[in-house]
Structure 1
Amino acid sequence: MAYAECGSLFEFLHGSEQREYTMAMAIDWMIQCIQGINHMHSMEPILIHRDLKTANLLLTKNYRNLKIGDFGNATDLGTMMTDMSGTAGYIAPKVLLGNTYTEKCDIYSFGIVLWEVMARRKPFHHLSDPNTIAKMYLPTKDERPILFDIIPNCEKFRFVIENCWDQEPKNRPTVKEIQLTDIPCLNIIMRP
């Protein structure tokens, strides 16, 4: 495995050395993430990561390149999946309820990651006690992180995020349907 000299996206966003980044840089990371998910979902059989989160997105080349890491929970679609794999705050509701699930659980997690990068906040940060149990219970009741934390005037992000984290997996887009181009707010600086 290649060494990711710049650490994880989680460290970049929330670590002690929080750096500024542009909206254009954030979109580029998310496009690279989509490309990685597309590669996994295009395999035969389909590979499902099951633990997409900013801590598993690794940065290289002066924070410009993003790679998906930690395939410890990954499995192919042909496997009967009813176990709860993943990290609280990023796990799709069907996974939390112990139902059989598909690659759409990665799409849900991507929606949370996209929200986190655009809001620069941890999932469910608004809770007075954002513990693991709360972060696992709320998505099953159709609760999500607060969309208004996203930068104003970027409605396209809200639309993509809401579609990705839809309660019903069949309503979520495929990775090929997710579009992050033509965003009017590319010059915005994202500050800690």
Structure 2
Amino acid sequence: MVAITTLFMSSWRRDHWRHNCMGPSHGSAMSWHVRMKIALDTARGLEYLHEHCNPPVIHRDLKSSNILLDSDFNAKIADFGLAVTSGNLDKGNLKISGTLGYVAPEYLLDGKLTEKSDVYAFGVVLLELLMGRKPVEKMSPSQCQSIVSWAMPQLTDRSKLPNIIDPVIKDTMDPKHLYQVAAVAVLCVQPEPSYRPLITDVLHSLVPLVPADLGGTLRVTEPHSPHQMYHPS
């Protein structure tokens, strides 16, 4: 088992892919379709954890640096060090953990953890893909601002939305697709968890935006192996 896992891991890179999609000054720029493929693959991984594992698994630390890419930009979720099953949430012994900028507000403030906490983190990843920005940026030596608080007023205004999109992809996608992805992101990062969609609903929204040759199919059922969706860490 160790040998198999080692061979499997050797074909994947723990690159921080965000640095490869932020334009010429940050390296090779990822296209719109590649970014949507990364989002779709990540949503599929979360759907497997939330809907097809028994009991359901909450990753608890989904972020761009925990999404591995191979040479064809297939994405898998990694680093399950903080993951918990839904059956262990009532034991009262879970410390609040995660990464600044990705932690859902209800978990940060009240310690309330559900699958919707992962959906919030996915929304932050989606915003990174759209805008090429970090989840938290320093505004001054003593002040930081999250991508969610900065972008939310503009994400819901169609006249302002194009102005905050990564310039590399700004003129390369169908505006209708841009509005659709922005709407999904807005729902995912809602402060109230009950307003956030299930990851399965997110998946259905993203599938039509990815060409079939990049994985944009209607297959959302349980994979043959969990390794198709996430990466052991």
TM-score > 0.5 by shorter chain: yes
2-side partners of 1:92 and 1:86: how far apart?
9
Contact 1:45 1:78 in 2 (8 A): yes
Matches within 5 A, 1:6-155: 7-13=15-21, 18-42=27-51, 43-60=53-70, 62-80=71-89, 83-125=95-137, 127-129=138-140, 134=144, 144-146=149-151, 147=155, 148=161, 149-150=164-165, 151=170, 153=175, 154-155=178-179
Establish whether residue 180 from structure 1 lines up as the match of residue 196 from structure 2. no
Structure-2 separation of matches of 1:41 and 1:130: 39
Measured after TM superposition, the shift of residue 64 of structure 1 is: 1.6
- Given that residues 84 and 98 in structure 1 are in contact (C-alpha distance below 8 angstroms), is that contact kept between their aligned partners in structure 2? no
8 A contact 2:57–2:83 mirrored in 1: yes
CA contact (8 A) 1:124 1:130 kept: no
CA distance in 1, matches of 2:95, 2:150: 24
Q: Percent identity?
A: 31
Deviations 1:9-32 (A, max 9, x none): 234346986211211111111110
Q: 1:129 to 1:89 in 2, by over 3 A?
A: farther
Give the structure-2-normalised TM-score. Answer: 0.67
* Mapped partners of 1:145, 1:177: distance in 2: 25
11-20 or 163-172, which deviates more: 11-20
Structure 1 Cα separation of the partners of residues 63 and 134 of structure 2: 10
Q: Structure 2: which amino acid aligns with 1:38?
A: E
More helix by share: 2
Contact 1:77-1:102 at 8 Å conserved across structures: yes
User: Which residue of structure 2 lines up, in the alignment, with residue 187 of structure 1?
Assistant: none
**1:52-83 per-position Cα deviation (integer Å, ceiling 9, x unaligned):** 100100111x1421110010100001112653
Supply the distance in 2 between the matched residues of 1:47 and 1:145 (Cα, whole angstroms): 30
CA contact (8 A) 1:123 1:145 kept: no
Q: Which amino acid aligns with 1:163?
A: L
Say if 2:68 and 2:78, in contact at 8 Å, map to a contact too: yes
Q: Which amino acid in the other structure matches residue 99 of structure 1?
A: G
Rounded to whole Å, the distance in 1 between the matches of 2:198 and 2:49 is 12
C-alpha RMSD of matched pairs (Å): 2.7
Aligned length: 176
State the secondary structure of the residue aligned to 1:144.
helix
Structure 1 residues 14 and 72, CA gap change in structure 2 (3 angstroms): farther
Report deviation, 1:85.
1.3
Instruction: State the alpha-carbon separation in 1 of the partners of residues 72 and 56 from structure 2.
Output: 29
Shift in alpha-carbon separation, 1:44–1:27, aligned structure 2, 3 A: same
Q: Is the contact between residue 29 and residue 65 of structure 1 (CA under 8 Å) also seen in structure 2?
A: yes
Separation (CA, whole Å) in 2 of partners of 1:6 and 1:46: 25
* Consecutive unaligned residues in structure 1, runs of 5 or more: 185-192
User: Aligned match of 2:187 in 152, 163, 168?
Assistant: 163
Instruction: Give the deviation of 1:101 after TM superposition.
Output: 1.7
